[in-house]
Structure 1
Amino acid sequence: MTRVPITLACWDYDRTRALADGTVRPDGVDLTYLNLPIEETFFRMLRHREFEAAEMSLSSYVTAAAADPNAGGLVAIPVFPSRAFRHHGIYVHSGSGIEKPSDLVGRTVGVPEYQLTAVVWIRGILADRHDVPVASVHYRTGGMHSPGRVEKQVLNLPPEIDVAPIAPHRTLADMLVTGEIDALYAPRTPRPILEGRPEVRRLFSEPRAVEEEYARDTGIFPIMHTVVLRRDIYEARPWLAGSLFGAFERAKSLSLARMAETAANPYLVPWLYDEVERTQALLGQDFWPYGLEANRQTLDVFLRYAHEQGLTGRQLAPDELFAPETHARHVI
């Protein structure tokens, strides 16, 4: 059987490494795995559709799906290579007087892009659990460490949401240090935090405790990225969706098995066994699930947030996002 050549652009995750090195081969596919920085992958796939398949920002894909029945020429499979709690991604200027989440109301907050998945989660969590309505904050967009960053997609936001770019020669990290913005929501840790600058601190002094409380209360482990196929590739061979889904599942299972090894520690984490047990006690044995049904609640919440924040004209349903061939798939 001739295998279908597919180029997949995806970052270097432990849960996808078996795909990258060929240990796991998708059925019927000759896979070329391109290990690229996530921002580059998103930009090239959204703007130019350069790859047959790619890791993709959940927010960018949802925004495209809401604007176009064909999701801008893409179709997703329910694989989620990136997930993260995001309470630790809220940073404040130390002299801003912001001591608790509700102090953010009326303030000016930097975001690299309004539509970033991490930022959608942060705004939604602050609105749901901390009395910070989305429209109560003034958002300023731009590069965090390098000037000139712009939104990857054109947004049509309601007038009550105030979003504007910073000056093209400025960066959000510098403006947070000087107090020109009161706070920053970001997926990456800003350089001033890494440098120990006293002008900047996290909003939550013990973010892990807050994130664990959120997980216990909601059962949600926030999804950041999914995986998409170019629609022309998918429509020519719909079976590719299931083949890739199964391969991602098998690769993840190998990573989970490797984490369970205790005779010799496979990772640079001294108490890995304890970390795994602690995580499973909180999030369950399969704490990083793929598949539609296992993630329906999390996706429902994210899609509500996207709609409430003006990114989608209506609230999408999770079933609308993924290739039908994958809806009932769950392979271990």
Structure 2
Amino acid sequence: MAPLRLTFACGDYDRTRALAEGTIRPDGIDLTYLRLPVEETFFRMLRHQEFEVAEMSLSSYVVSLRSDPSPFVALPVFTSRMFRHSSLYCHADAGISSAEDLRGKLIGTPEYQLTACVWMRGILGDRHGVPFDSVRYVTGGQETAGRVEKADLDLPASVRISRIPEGATLSAMLAAGEIDALCTPRVPSPFAAGDPRVRRVFPDVVAAEKEYYGATGVFPIMHVVVIRRDVYERHPWVAQSLYKALLAARDEAYANLYDTSALRFMLPWLTPQLEEARALLGRDFWSYGLPGNREALSAFLRYHHEQGLSARQFAPEELFAPQSLESAVI
């Protein structure tokens, strides 16, 4: 029987590169790997379901579960993880000397449901006395005007949110002091250019993120891999096949990172940084599956529900294809 032909839209990552290059092949699948920016992948998958398999924002995936049946089935494969204290920026004259000072401020965000921002709103509420509904939000394009939410949202009245003016951008508004702060996954252009009017809320990001991990044991999850439901229902075996291949690709990336014959990436202290990450987070610091990620997923699902993005708080087990949560014992 001919292999099943599937298209996988995903970012360009070390942990998936073996699938992109075809050196690791999922059992029974002829996989076409499309390297796309995450915003394009998410938009095309959520709006038009263009791909059989895709990387997807964890928040967008949980929002999609409100449909019956939901359009996607996820694998516990986390193509993106990142501590997000670095995602909070403020205007230098906004009176923000610590995260606690964000209470009552006007905060921009490209989209309210962005995973990075769900995490930071939750962390600010849990650890810095800034509940998600103690601030006002504006949404819109960060560098280009006109961005809209990828999914329709039904938010509670306690969320005070509005659109920025037509033609405006969040980066320009932050630099001009028209908003007090910005929560965004991407570095805003004024900060990247060294504009003194824009700085990070957490000046020592690494220290803040290490302290957060030490207190919680959570390495935030940003993205999952989803299978379009019609594909999964016709071929349920693809969940296990893809999961095994993605695990193998990640393990190959682990090994390559610790090859000291030559630096794999342009980071002068890559090897000691890797050793430090292992010492702090454990050797399987980029873990897949449910056992090592239950606390992170539970925290995120609580934040997602509390912030009005999901009608109920899901359990981590509800997110994933059952085939990807168990394997044969030999």
**TM superposition score normalised by structure 2:** 0.98
* Aligned AA (1:7): T
Secondary structure at 1:55 match in 2? strand
Contact 1:18–1:24 (8 Å) recurs in 2? yes
How far the C-alpha of 1:61 sits from its partner, in A, is: 0.4
The match for 1:148 is: 146
Change in 2 beyond 3 A, CA 1:178/1:233: same
Deviation sequence 1:236-295 (CA, Å, 0-9, x none): 111100000010000011111001111222221111110110000111000000112221
SS of equivalent residue, structure 1 residue 176: helix
Tell me, what secondary structure is at the counterpart of 2:292? helix
What are the Cα deviations for residues 34-63 of structure 1, in whole angstroms up to 9, with x where unaligned?
011110000000011100000000000001
- Structure 2 counterparts to residues 184-199 of structure 1, below 5 A: 184-199=182-197
1:74 is aligned with what amino acid? F
Matched residue, 2:54: 54
Q: How far is 1:233 from its partner?
A: 0.3
- For these two proteins, the number of residue pairs brought into alignment is 329
Structure 2 stretches lacking a partner, 5+ long: none
2:221 — aligned with what?
Answer: 223
- Out of 249, 266, 269, the residue aligned to residue 267 of structure 2 is 269
Matched residue type, 2:230: D
* Alpha-carbon distance between aligned partners in 1 of 2:325 and 2:248, rounded to the nearest angstrom: 17
Moved over 4 A (4+): none
In the TM superposition, what is the alpha-carbon distance from 1:329 to its structure 2 partner?
A: 4.7
The alignment status of 1:139 with 2:137, answered yes or no, reads yes
Distance 1:69 1:297 in 2: 27
**1:117 paired to 2:115:** yes
Tell me how far apart the structure 2 counterparts of residues 155 and 266 of structure 1 sit (CA, whole Å): 42
SS in 2 for 1:15: coil
Residue 310 (structure 1) aligned to one of 308, 311, 317: 308
1:307-328, Cα deviation, whole Å (9 max, x unpaired): 0000011101111111011112
Q: Partners in 1 of 2:326 and 2:273 — Cα distance?
A: 31
Q: Deviations over 1:87-125 (max 9, x none)?
A: 011000000111111111111000000000000001000
Paired residue for 2:89? 91
CA distance in 2, matches of 1:57, 1:306: 13
Matched residue type, 2:50: E
CA deviation map 1:13-36 (0-9, x unaligned) = 011000000010000000000011
Matching of residue 34 in structure 1 with residue 34 in structure 2: yes
Using the aligned pairs only, state the percent identity.
56
Distance in 1, Cα, partners of 2:301 & 2:180: 28
Taking structure 1 as the reference length, the TM-score comes to 0.97
Query: Could you give the per-residue CA deviations for residues 209-247 of structure 1, whole angstroms, max 9, x where no partner exists?
Result: 000111111111100000000101001111100000010
Match of 2:236 in 1: 238
Aligned equivalents of 1:29 and 1:277: distance in 2?
A: 35
Please tell me whether the aligned partners of residues 291 and 329 of structure 1 are also in contact (alpha carbons under 8 angstroms). no
Aligned counterparts of 2:269 and 2:101: Cα–Cα separation in 1: 37
Deviation at 1:70, TM superposition (A): 2.5
Question: Which residue in 2 is equivalent to 1:70?
Answer: 69
Answer yes or no: is 1:291 the counterpart of 2:289.
yes
Whole-Å separation in 2 of the counterparts to 1:135 and 1:272: 40
1:238 maps to a residue whose letter is P
* Structure 2: distance between partners of 1:222 and 1:155: 23
Contact 1:242–1:326 (CA under 8 A) maintained in structure 2: yes
The secondary structure found in structure 1 opposite 2:320 is: coil
What is the Cα deviation at residue 69 of structure 1? 3.8
CA contact (8 A) 1:290 1:330 kept: no
Partner of 1:108: 106
Aligned position for 2:44: 44
Letter in 1 for 2:61: Y
Structure 1 residues 62 and 236: alpha-carbon distance in aligned structure 2, compared to 1, 3 A threshold: same
Contact 1:145 1:171 in 2 (8 A): yes
CA RMSD of aligned residues (A): 1.2
The question of whether the paired residues in 2 share the 8 Å contact of 1:291 and 1:328 is answered with no
Does the 8 Å contact 1:291/1:330 carry over to 2?
no
Structure 2 vs 1, CA of residues 79 and 330 (structure 1 numbering), >3 Å: closer, same or farther?
farther
